[in-house]
């Protein structure tokens, strides 16, 4: 059984001594440390005691197999990295129904080689929703245009390519466009 005790404690900005003092009855920071590292067994009574001390559901203290959430350690604000007042977790991205992808092979504009873009397909009546966002537009003979949609006038789309020095492209009568919804980037 894998404990999430340390991640929850850190997400709340608490020390081992803080958690020990919040337990009923109070315990020691050394004991909390041993429970976190697994050198002391996390039993059901300990789970109940710690869940009350951390104000979480008991099940939140146990990492479930296949749990793909990523605990958030801090948040970046104008004042710098700050602790969280409540625990947060990031969930891996999940594509929306009908999503399509675009792989960046060569860096261009804001995009780096290796980036993956997830796009949401839009029909012609919704083209105006994508103004000022990056889009992918199908063209004849298996070609595509990618860039920032700067204007949508009737059936004409005005697209500014992401490559510096490239000229604006106008595409007429596109059957659909795909608006950027998510950027996946590995470092």
Task: Annotate the chain with three-state secondary structure.
Answer: CEECHHHHHHHCCCCHHHHHHHCCCCCCHHHHHHHHHCCCCCCHHHHHHHHHHHCCCHHHHEECCCCCCEECCCEEECCEEECCCCCCEECCCCCCCCCEEEECCCCECCECCCCEEEEEEECHHHHHHHCCCEEEEECHHHCEEEEEEEEEECCEEEEEECCCCCCCEEEECCCCEEEEEEEECCC
Residue numbers of the chain with a pLDDT score lower than 70:
1-2, 64-68, 91-92, 94
**Domain check: are 6 and 81 in the same one?**
yes
Place of tokens 């537009």: 137
**Domain check: are 169 and 108 in the same one?**
yes
pLDDT at 100: 92
Domain residues for 61?
Answer: 2-90
Distance in angstroms (rounded) separating the CA atoms of residues 108 and 101? 17
Report yes or no on 12 lying in a domain: yes
pLDDT at 6: 87
User: And the tokens for 175?
Assistant: 């059957």
- The tally of domains found in the chain comes to 2
Report yes or no on 95 lying in a domain: no
pLDDT at 13: 84
pLDDT at 150: 95
Beta bridge partners of 70: 90
Domain edge (last residue) among 38, 56, 90: 90
Domain edge (last residue) among 90, 117, 148: 90
Residue 75 is part of a domain; what is its CATH number?
1.10.260.40
pLDDT at 20: 95
Burial state string for 123-162 with b = 16 or more CB within 10 A and e = fewer than 16: eeeebeebeeebbbbeeeeeeebbbbbeebeeeebbbbbb
pLDDT at 146: 95
Q: Is the dihedral of CA 87, 84, 90, 119 positive or negative?
A: positive
Distance in angstroms (rounded) separating the CA atoms of residues 151 and 142? 24
* pTM of the model as a whole: 0.58
């Amino acid at each position: 059984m894998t404990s999430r005790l340390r991640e929850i404690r850190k997400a709340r900005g608490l020390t081992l001594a803080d958690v020990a003092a919040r337990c009923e009855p109070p315990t020691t920071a050394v004991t909390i440390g041993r429970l976190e590292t697994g050198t002391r067994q996390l039993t059901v009574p300990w789970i109940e005691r710690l869940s009350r001390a951390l104000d979480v559901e008991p099940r939140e203290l146990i990492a479930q197999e296949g749990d793909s959430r990523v605990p958030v350690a801090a948040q970046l604000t104008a004042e710098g990295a700050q602790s969280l007042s409540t625990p947060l977790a990031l969930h891996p991205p999940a594509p929306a129904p009908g999503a399509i992808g675009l792989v960046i092979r060569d860096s261009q504009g804001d995009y780096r080689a290796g980036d993956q873009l997830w796009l949401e397909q839009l029909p012609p009546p919704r083209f105006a929703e994508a103004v000022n966002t990056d889009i992918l537009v199908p063209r004849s003979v298996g070609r595509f245009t990618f860039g920032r949609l700067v204007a949508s006038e009737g059936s004409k789309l005005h697209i500014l390519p992401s490559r510096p020095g490239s000229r604006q492209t106008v595409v007429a009568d596109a059957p659909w466009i795909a608006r950027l919804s998510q950027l996946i980037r590995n470092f």
